[in-house]
Amino acid sequence: MSINAAVKLSSGQTMPVVAFGTGTQWFSNDQGVSNANEEATLADSLHAALDAGVTHIDSAEMYKTEVFSGPAFQDYLKKSSKQRSDFFITSKVFVSAGDVEKAVQTTLDHFGTDYLDLYLLHAPFLDKAGVTKSVAEVWKAMEALVDAGKIRSIGVSNFAVQHLESLLATARIPPAVNQIEVHPQLYQPELEEYCRSHEIVVTAYSSLKPLASKDECKDILKTAEDIAKAHDKTTAETLLNWNLSRGLGVVTTSSRPERLAKTLNCLSFTLDQKEIEAIAAAGKGVPHRYYWTEAFAQLEYKNKSNNKKSTLLLLCVCVCVCVCVCVCVCVCVCVCVCVCVCVCVCVCTCFVFYSLSSSRAKERERESDLCVCVCVCWPNVHTLFEHAQM
C-alpha cells in the first residue's frame, strides 16, 4: 500500500510529504560564497528532483543557499509548463529573526514569488544567533506576515515539547509543522505524539544519517536492508519510509541523478508495525543527535538542574508537611489527654460527691430511725416507770 503524497495542515494548506532539501550538504561558507561548480550542482540536482515529481522545496536563510536555489527554481519555471502554484516552498528564519519581515522579503526575492507556502522558526535557541527578541515576539511577527498574505502557513523547527507548550500558550495562530531531526538513532515518539495531539505535522530531516555511519549503525543498516529486500526497495528508501509510515513528512536530498530520479519511490510502500519497531529497536543501542547537539545538551542539563531543584523543593514541602502533621498529632494527643484527665477528675468528683451524699443520707436515715424508736418506745418506758413507783 502506498503512502499519501500530501498531508493537510491545520492552516488548511496541503503540504507534499517529501521535500527536496537545499541545506546540510549544500551549506555555503560563512560569507555565503559558493564556487560555480557547487552552484551548478545544486541547480542541476534541484531540477532533477522537480523532474522526478518532487513539488516541495525546503530551504532556509541559515543554509545561505537561497541565493542559488531561488534563481534555479525560477529558471525551472521558465522552462516548465508548471506554475508557481504547483509547488510548495518552505523556508526558515533564525539569524534574522529580529527582523522577520525583512528576512521573508529576501527569500521571496530569491525565489521570485510573492508568497511562501510555509515559514518556520528554525530553532527556539534564539540567543545562539544573538537575537534579543523572544520566541513569542518573533512568532507574533510571523503571524502578522500570515495576515499580510506573504506566508500561507507558519511552523517551527527543532522544538521540544517544553518549547511547544510555551509557544502554544501565547500563539494566536498555532504552528502547523515542527521539523525535527528523526532517524533510528534519534527516535522521539513522545514528541511526535505531542505534536499529533495538537495537530502539528512532524517533518523529519536527516532520515538517512545511518548511511553515513556504517560502522556505528551496522545493526540498523542490517535490519533496514533485510526489510528493504522484502519490499524490493533500497535501504535509503526504507529508512525514508520508516518515517513516512509513522505519519511524518521527510526532507531528503542528493546530488546523484540516479537517486534523484527515484526520490518518490519511498512513497510506494508501507512498513508494518513490526518492521517499524524492528528498525527502532536497532537504533536504541546507538543513540546519536547530529545537529544542535550543544543547545540540546544545555537544555537537558538545565532541565536536570530544574528537576533537582523541584525535587529538593518537593522534599522540603514534604518535610514541612510531616512536621506540621506531627505537631498537630502531638497537640491532638495532648488535648485528648487533657480531656481524659478532665473527664476523670469530673467522674472522681461526682463519685466522691455521690459517696458523701450517700453517707449523709444514711446518717440522716439513722437519726430518723432513732427518733422513731424513741417515739415508739418512750410511752412503754414511761408506763413501766409509773408501775414501778406504785
Q: Containing domain of residue 98, as a range?
A: 6-291
**CATH number, domain at 262?**
3.20.20.100
Last residue of a domain, one of 265, 291, 317: 291
Q: Which residue has the cell 505534536?
A: 195
pLDDT confidence of residue 333: 76
26: in domain: yes
Q: Can you tell me whether residue 173 is helix, strand or coil? A: coil
**pTM score, whole prediction:** 0.79
- 260 and 360 both lie in a single domain: no
Rounded to whole angstroms, the Cα distance separating 81 from 65 reads 25
132: in domain: yes
Q: Can you tell me whether residue 177 is helix, strand or coil? A: strand
Q: Count CB-CB contacts under 10 A for residue 231.
A: 15
pLDDT confidence of residue 31: 47
- 325 and 187 both lie in a single domain: no
pLDDT confidence of residue 87: 99
- 303 and 239 both lie in a single domain: no
- 117 and 246 both lie in a single domain: yes
Helix (H) or strand (E) holding 92: strand 88-93
Active site residue 291: no
- 268 and 342 both lie in a single domain: no
Last residue of a domain, one of 238, 263, 291: 291
Q: Can you tell me whether residue 23 is helix, strand or coil? A: coil
pLDDT confidence of residue 331: 79
Q: Which of 63, 119, 187, 205 is catalytic?
A: 63
82: in domain: yes
* Exposure string for 64-99, b = 16+ CB within 10 A, e = fewer: bbbbbbbebbeebbeeeeeeeeebbbbbbbbbbbbe
Cell representation of residue 361: 443520707
Nearby residues of 236 by Cβ (< 8 Å), 6 or more positions away: 208, 211, 259, 266
1: in domain: no
381: in domain: yes
pLDDT confidence of residue 313: 66
- 193 and 321 both lie in a single domain: no
- 212 and 296 both lie in a single domain: no
305: in domain: yes
- 283 and 309 both lie in a single domain: no
pLDDT confidence of residue 37: 77
- Taking Cα atoms as reference points, which of 105, 83, 87, 88 lies closest to residue 96? 105
Active site residue 56: no
Nearby residues of 332 by Cβ (< 8 Å), 6 or more positions away: none
pLDDT confidence of residue 312: 63
Rounded to whole angstroms, the Cα distance separating 202 from 7 reads 11
Q: Which residue has the cell 511562501?
A: 116
- 168 and 303 both lie in a single domain: no
378: in domain: yes
- 280 and 315 both lie in a single domain: no
Last residue of a domain, one of 240, 261, 291: 291
- 347 and 255 both lie in a single domain: no
287: in domain: yes
- 280 and 372 both lie in a single domain: no
In the chain (390 residues long), the average pLDDT of successive 10-residue segments reads 93 98 69 65 95 98 95 97 98 96 98 99 94 96 98 99 98 99 98 98 98 94 98 98 98 93 96 98 96 93 65 67 74 75 72 61 55 51 52
pLDDT confidence of residue 318: 63
Rounded to whole angstroms, the Cα distance separating 113 from 73 reads 10
Q: What's the structural domain count of the chain?
A: 2
Q: Which of 56, 122, 163, 183 is catalytic?
A: 122
